[in-house]
Structure 1
Amino acid sequence: GQVEGGRKISSNTEASGRFHTDWLNMIYPRLKLARNLLHSDGVILVSCDDGEVANLRAILNDIFGEENFVAQFVWKARQFTDARANTNISTDHEYIVAYARDDGFSLKGVGRDESKFGNPDGDPRGDWMSRSMLGLATRDQRPNLHYDVVDPLTGRVFPPNASTGWRYSKDKMAELISEGKVLFPRNDDGRPREKKFRSEMRSEFIAFRSIIDGVHTADGTQEIRSLFGVDLFAFPKPTALIASLIEQVAADGDIVLDFFAGSGTTGHALLKQNAAENLKRRYVLVQLPEPLDPSNREQKVASDFCDKLGKPRTIAELTKERLRRSAARIDEENPLFKGDFGFRVFKLASSNIRAWEPVAADLESSLLKNAEHLVQGRKEQDVLYELLLKLGLDLCVPIETKSIAGKSVNSIGGGALIVCLADGLSKDVVERLASGIVTWRTALAPAVDTRVVFKDSGFADDVAKTNMAAILSQNGITDVRSL
């Protein structure tokens, strides 16, 4: 429904007189919804360029609160200078703005480089590393950090650096020297350094840098090319970028939601990171089925690829295809990883259950029209998944289907929910169907009480419906409902 006159309402062309307004009207409801969906310790990361970053920060401050700002990462997206820049400025960066759901959030941090630690002198205190003792303040700013350091063995004097001073006060420095934690240079032109022991590190991690370098848009393009053989998307983000952020903010079992799936980089990156850490994070990707126009030069390759696959010409189809191909590759490259590579596809639709909207002047006709209360043309699977939503069950819960008395019966969550939406449940069928459901439920042995749901209009009459409830109740299944 986000199309008006053949154009996306969220279009943001440079010719638009409401350039910033169009974009803000599109992004605001998504950000508002994102905050409602976030877990209390969740975080949102929004990619943006110079064109809207100021507006983005303002709108995120409004929705999430300025106090929940985490960071504004600068990603060096371009590896080489843009020779086509008509302003003689090569824009090499993009931003990733992060806000927390509530205060108290922090990133995981980056693991320390253990190769920097060693114990060449056999110090009984264990491995150590050498680090600079330069401070961060001039004499005017921190006079207590500007003093001479004297080597107690040689008497050599090391004056402070005029622009930085020392890292520690004079008393703290004297304490470190007495403990043998200051390394004095052999030559006069060297500087004393601190002997920092690994056991004294307060954390296993160091801070994640706000400037992200070493991975570029060209890497994302190469990933698409290696999966599909052609360049389907312009400037796709590399999985290494997204995977590094997922590692920082999402723990085992967490769900990562991407409102703008595009080529499916987030799903691809999450699977890679899961395999690398042997974890079970999950993803939800949202992508409008935006049509691809073969007459558009920038979309022709992608459009032709959809034709080759025999799929509709939409971005969503390419998103799904990338998830399939990347999952197969990651599975092949990580034979020891036993995580789940599958995904289910859902499309937004109105309810399968017709709303009761009677015409007061003609109630008889209204009753007859609503005798069948399910929307015509909907499949049994459509109704089943709406039932899962309304009961608050996970859409990825295991579903097993079998035929009992010639009717399709679904077991959800190992027998926690059993659903039969078949028609033609007459008295004779009901007895065999009920017996089969009881037997199946006994074999499944769910840890919770089983709820059984039928389609109300599927029963031939009230006698069949009553018999079904009675037989199930006699066998310990008391939660029986009709839809």
Structure 2
Amino acid sequence: MHETPATTPHFRTELAAQLAFLIPEAIADGKVDVEKLKELLDGDAVETSERFGLFWPGKRRALRAAQEPTTATLRPDFENSKDWDTTQNVFIEGDNLEVLKILQKHYHAKIKLIYIDPPYNTGKDFVYPDNYREGLQTYLEYAGLIGDDGNAKSTIAKNTSDNPHYHSAWLNMMYPRLKLARNLLTDDGVILISINDVEQAQLRRLCDEVFGENNLIAQFVWLNDGNVDQQSKIKGVHEYVLAYARNTSKFARPTVIDPNIGEESKLYRELIENSITKNGPANPPSEVELPVGFPANFTSGRIGIREDSYPHVLDEILVENGKVVTPARVRSGWSSRNLLDLFIRNGCSPIDDADGRETWFELRDTGAIYMMKRRAEDQGHVLSVLRNLGTTKQNSSLLASWGLTFSYPKPLGLIEYLVAVFTRPDEDALILDFFSGSATTAHAVMSANLRDSGRRRHIQVQLPEPVGDGTGGTIADLARRRIDKAGDSLAGTRKNQLQVDGGPPLDIGFRSYKLSDTNFAKWRLSSEVEEDALQQHLLSLRDSATDDATADELLTEILLKQGYSLTEAVSSAEIGALEVRLVRDRDGDVAVLAYLNEHVKPTLEQLRALVDEAPTRIIVLEDAFQGDDELKTNMSQLAKSKGIEVWTA
């Protein structure tokens, strides 16, 4: 019988366990022997105290914030959801540091793309109020955003530039979140981070440390037309998008062409042709012998010997029926000599280049040799400068048309383009934005799916920060409304398309969750608890689960801590006169059967009925057995005889 873990993984412990597995000789008395580790690494270990890197006050404490587990959970918010039973999209209201920890269990190495637009630290943005010892409690206090007067309130101070730790405060906020985010990326996954000049240098160095400087894909420059500070001496018209891969060796070449490239470009031609005559220090002249049968683009003719221009023709070349009929040597510097040699060795039949494009060579009547490539279906051409992809003003106007007000939302066109660059429509890519803001990323994912019939899914995370318009609403409220409005608008377009081209249905829904404390009193205990609090806690343990927690809330927490997703197919049923929850897999089989009523003790026959359903796993609240260890043991034996796991919580 297994017990559901009380917290998210303890990341420091897991790291030590990985070291023990990889380097057992570096473990002594159950601890990592750092000196032994240095000895084993020898010259690869850094000994000097003057190390290269990014250092700031509070860095070690910020790292601990990422490593500390949490007892927090997510509570289903059915009222603010859309298409709960069918959608694969998720919106989470809460502090993203706590949420990222909760997501580690199931979503580890499952996110294809992360896009975030964090606070730019301009002195106007707030920085998240991390209290690393009591992170969840700090959030829960902050989340009480509505005062007695009905207006939104915030206990968060601005991080102004006169703060002596101005950059440090921002780095301390970003560091633990990026550490946790990296764990979620697939091997070929990518993280994109929007930033401006204020923290670009620090962010670049920080990402080099977290993701590895060799995993930098690009530092995109985004020309943000229409958002210019007229008081500035130099008018800044650009921002940045840093792109880092989890592993660049796994990152595939994008298959998107920059929308600013005109249709007349050779990128859109069926055939791409280029002369391979190229002389220079990197391409010293060398001889190539054209064999009999080497193709020419003219039917017949003769090219005489010459050395006055490249390529030099060392032997007379005769062509009949579009092919060379006698071996002939030519001399020049060549830009694709290896491919040319491979083509000749292949009997002058087409070959594939490194990108899988059909490639061949042919002789022209000038004596030049041209390389011909058939344009690939997934031809890509992505530039490091992002331009003409919409403006913040346009996106603000779009939101205003839906009755929503938000300052400086990222352009929909920009994010949709980035989504298309770094994900493919046919791969069920999961996209995460844990600084969701007005939910432009969610809108962009749905819009991209509409454009290319994609199956992308999204997860949004947003703190319930006050909008600041005096209505008492939060940015999380605004984001959910924006996803709802955008989805309806796109669905209308899709309905018209379906009449023409068919295609998959467009997922415009989302499951809404809210960050909350655990529903289990026995999991709330902190190692820092004081004596009085401990006594109160022990009294609360008479009932393991919180009495006002619903079955859905209990199940969600248990599933998350056991490693299930936020979009599991859950249904209710009555089996053996017991109210249970069923979680089905993609094939419709019962993966989990959960009995979550601690106030009604089941009989052995009722438990036998649960086992007879043959689920993969059965979950029963510990207190449902009401101290009857014999009943618990009998059920465990019944399940074991049929290969069923039994878990308690």
TM-score by length of 2: 0.55
> Percent identity at matched positions?
27
2:628 is matched with 462
C-alpha contact (below 8 Å) 1:257/1:284 kept by paired residues: yes
Is 2:389 the counterpart of 1:215? yes
Equivalent residue runs for 1:253-332 within 5 Å = 253-295=428-470, 303=471, 313-332=473-492
2:347 is matched with none
Equivalent residue runs for 1:369-408 within 5 Å = 369-404=540-575, 407-408=578-579
Alpha-carbon spacing, 1:463–1:101, altered in 2? closer, same or farther (3 Å): closer
Quote the Cα distance in structure 2 between the aligned partners of 1:264 and 1:183: 59
Quote the Cα distance in structure 2 between the aligned partners of 1:93 and 1:388: 44
Q: CA deviation at 1:130?
A: 6.3
Q: CA deviation at 1:87?
A: 3.1
Equivalent residue runs for 1:172-187 within 5 Å = 172=334
1:206 is matched with 380
C-alpha contact (below 8 Å) 1:451/1:479 kept by paired residues: yes
Alpha-carbon spacing, 1:141–1:464, altered in 2? closer, same or farther (3 Å): closer
Of 496, 509, 520, which residue of structure 2 is paired with 1:353?
520
Amino acid at match of 1:33: L
Is 2:260 the counterpart of 1:85? no
Alpha-carbon spacing, 1:458–1:216, altered in 2? closer, same or farther (3 Å): same
Alpha-carbon spacing, 1:353–1:207, altered in 2? closer, same or farther (3 Å): same
1:109 is matched with 254
Alpha-carbon displacement from aligned partner over 1:266-293 (angstroms, at most 9, x marks no partner): 1111122223232322222111111233
Q: CA deviation at 1:350?
A: 3.1
Quote the Cα distance in structure 1 between the aligned partners of 2:557 and 2:428: 24
Quote the Cα distance in structure 2 between the aligned partners of 1:259 and 1:457: 36
Quote the Cα distance in structure 1 between the aligned partners of 2:281 and 2:620: 81
Alpha-carbon displacement from aligned partner over 1:435-472 (angstroms, at most 9, x marks no partner): 76467x3xxxx7xx532222232346739945983896
Quote the Cα distance in structure 2 between the aligned partners of 1:205 and 1:348: 43
2:271 is matched with 128
Is 2:408 the counterpart of 1:235? yes
Q: CA deviation at 1:256?
A: 1.4
State the secondary structure of the residue aligned to 2:511: coil
C-alpha contact (below 8 Å) 1:129/1:195 kept by paired residues: no
State the secondary structure of the residue aligned to 2:220: strand
Quote the Cα distance in structure 1 between the aligned partners of 2:636 and 2:198: 66
State the secondary structure of the residue aligned to 2:249: coil
Of 566, 581, 584, which residue of structure 2 is paired with 1:410?
581
Equivalent residue runs for 1:337-352 within 5 Å = 337-352=504-519
Is 2:422 the counterpart of 1:249? yes
Q: CA deviation at 1:347?
A: 2.4
TM-score by length of 1: 0.72
Q: Where do 5+ consecutive residues of structure 1 fail to align?
A: 119-125, 146-151, 161-168, 185-191, 296-302, 304-311
Alpha-carbon spacing, 1:277–1:127, altered in 2? closer, same or farther (3 Å): closer
Quote the Cα distance in structure 2 between the aligned partners of 1:213 and 1:193: 38
Q: CA deviation at 1:264?
A: 0.5
Q: CA deviation at 1:262?
A: 0.3
| Range with bigger deviation, 59-68 or 259-268 | 59-68
Larger RCO (CA under 8 A, 6+ residues apart): 2
State the secondary structure of the residue aligned to 1:389: helix
Alignment length, in residue pairs?
Answer: 423
Amino acid at match of 1:96: V
Is 2:156 the counterpart of 1:8? yes
Q: CA deviation at 1:158?
A: 11
C-alpha contact (below 8 Å) 2:604/2:631 kept by paired residues: no
Q: CA deviation at 1:340?
A: 3.2
Alpha-carbon displacement from aligned partner over 1:24-61 (angstroms, at most 9, x marks no partner): 12111111211222222221111001111111111111
Amino acid at match of 1:46: I
State the secondary structure of the residue aligned to 1:345: strand
Q: CA deviation at 1:215?
A: 1.1
Alpha-carbon displacement from aligned partner over 1:70-115 (angstroms, at most 9, x marks no partner): 110011111x484x51235332111001111223144533456886
C-alpha contact (below 8 Å) 1:258/1:266 kept by paired residues: yes
Of 44, 60, 66, which residue of structure 1 is paired with 2:207?
60
Of 198, 202, 223, which residue of structure 2 is paired with 1:51?
198
1:26 is matched with 173
Alpha-carbon displacement from aligned partner over 1:378-408 (angstroms, at most 9, x marks no partner): 3322221111122211221111113456653
Q: CA deviation at 1:355?
A: 3.2
Q: CA deviation at 1:211?
A: 0.6
C-alpha contact (below 8 Å) 1:127/1:197 kept by paired residues: no
Q: CA deviation at 1:482?
A: 3.4
Amino acid at match of 2:215: N
Quote the Cα distance in structure 2 between the aligned partners of 1:359 and 1:208: 57
Quote the Cα distance in structure 1 between the aligned partners of 2:575 and 2:282: 83
Is 2:628 the counterpart of 1:453? no
Quote the Cα distance in structure 2 between the aligned partners of 1:87 and 1:461: 71
